[in-house]
Amino acid sequence: MRGNQKIKILYLMRILYECTDDVHGLTLDEIADALSAYGVEAERKTLYDDFEVLRTFGLDLEKRKEGKTVRYHVLSRSFELPELKLLVDAVQSSRFITRRKSVELIKKLEQLTSKYQAQRLSRQVFVSNRIKTMNESIYYTVDDIHEAISANKKISFQYFHWNEKKERVPSHGGKVYRVSPFALTWDDENYYMIAYDSDAEMVKHFRVDKMIRLAVLDEARDGSERFRDFDMAIYSQKTFGMYGGTEENVVLRCKNGLAGVIIDRFGQDTVFFPSGEDAFEIHVKVAVSPPFLSWVMTFGSDVTILSPAHVKDEYIALARRVIEQYQ
């Protein structure tokens, strides 16, 4: 019992963090009982001294008198409850985090607040019903990519896709990619690595949860000049669904009612040029791809591609293929 005195203050801090908050407090007797469960004896006088040490350390500990009862509360913490709720929601909504890892992460987030507030964070029912990746190794992949970026090294990996039998199949005949990673981004509920491909001499992006057999190479990265003025927000803005395509300056005519949609997609700095009484034109740089053309198609006659002509032709060809499918 006496041998545990050296770690008493650590147990005391754990008890206060886990069992108290702004609403719930503990009396001295309750604190002494909780310490006893850890095999630690505590006298009232020594507890007062320990409280002062914790306050000096930075613990926001408040003593409250409620009638004849005095209780101790931990008030502020590193993360407040609304912040933890935000983090839990982010974990739940992330497709690239597996169900099992989502539950593990939320359990760890719950440990950052009191057991009472942790109950308000328990929303695993939503996690189990969400579409999640099946690639459990994504955490090690992300860690390796960060290590490579920090060490200025290239990486190698293979890509895979799912076949009709729900089997993982290496893409492009098991091709091994050798690229220079520069950034990671979260777009459209998926995690992507932005890298420079020396062989293709271009910037590419890869779904992190589709990468397997990743290794950090003992070879310095290439393409740093491509990333000196690289803006991830602009890159994501013009790349629909992180689908590759040729960059084009496209002119669109949009009905006025779509102003909010256009601002959400291209940003508030997008210039609107009035076009008649009920529409406006925008000039945007986008990667012309099937996802971009499909995005335009979702608005029917409310969005029209004005130029360039070959992009209009691609759009018309896509529309015809869709119609022919139902004829």
Assign 268 to helix, strand or coil.
Answer: coil
pLDDT tier at 291 (50, 70, 90 boundaries)? Answer: confident
161 in the same domain as 122: no
| Domain shared by 219 and 144, yes or no | yes
Q: How far apart are CA 284 and CA 253, in angstroms?
A: 11
Do 98 and 26 sit in the same domain of this protein? no
Dig out the tokens for 233 from the structure.
């927000």
Residue 230 lies in a domain: no
Mean pLDDT of 187-202: 85
Q: Are residues 98 and 173 in the same domain?
A: no
The pLDDT, as a whole number, for residue 242 is 56
The reported pLDDT for the residue numbered 74 is 95
CATH of the domain at 65: 1.10.10.10
Overall average pLDDT of the 105-124 stretch: 82
Listed residues 27, 56, 74: the one ending a domain: 74
Q: Are residues 193 and 218 in the same domain?
A: yes
Stretch 106-130: mean pLDDT: 74
For residue 231, tell me if it sits in a domain. Answer: no
For residue 56, give the 3-state DSSP assignment: helix
Please determine, for residue 289, whether its predicted confidence score (pLDDT) is greater than 50: yes
| In-domain check, residue 176 | yes
Q: Does one domain contain both 185 and 254? A: no
Q: What is the pLDDT of residues 205-234, one digit of tens each?
A: 898 888 999 999 999 999 999 888 887 767
Q: Would you say residue 123 has pLDDT above 80? A: no
Residue 142 and residue 220 in one domain: yes
Asked, for residue 214, whether it belongs to a domain, the answer is yes
Residue 1, pLDDT score = 45
Q: What is the mean pLDDT of residues 138-158?
A: 92
Alpha helices in the chain (DSSP H): 8-19, 28-37, 44-57, 81-93, 99-110, 115-119, 124-129, 138-151, 232-238, 259-266, 290-297, 309-325
Q: Which phi and psi (to 5°) does residue 96 adopt?
A: -80, -5
pLDDT tens for 67-105 read 889 999 999 899 988 888 888 888 877 777 887 888 888
Domain range enclosing 303: 240-325
Question: At residue 128, does pLDDT exceed 90?
Answer: no
- CATH code of 177's domain: 2.30.30
- Give the number of domains in the chain: 4
Query: Do 150 and 94 share a structural domain?
Result: no
Residues 19 and 58 occupy one common structural domain: yes
Q: What is the reported pLDDT for 118?
A: 87
pLDDT, tens digit, 9 for 90 and up, residues 11-30: 999 999 999 999 999 999 99
Q: How far, in Å, CA of 29 to CA of 218, rounded? A: 60
Residues 116 and 149 in one domain: no
Query: Does pLDDT of 127 surpass 50?
Result: no
Task: Please list the alpha-helical segments (H only) found in 239-308.
Answer: 259-266, 290-297
Q: Tell me whether residue 234 is in a domain.
A: no
Q: How is residue 297 written in tokens?
A: 């198609």
Distance, in Å, from the CA atom of 15 to the CA atom of 47, rounded to the nearest integer, reads 13
Per the prediction, the chain carries an average pLDDT of 87
250 and 193 within one domain: no
Whether the predicted pLDDT of 38 surpasses 50: yes
Single residue among 197, 224, 251 that ends a domain in this structure: 224
Distance CA 322, CA 205 (A): 28
With respect to residue 148, please indicate whether it lies within any of the assigned structural domains.
yes
Looking up residue 313, the CATH number of its domain turns out to be: 3.30.70
In a domain, 193, yes or no: yes
Whether residues 17 and 53 share a domain: the answer is yes
Classify residue 11: in a domain, yes or no.
Answer: yes
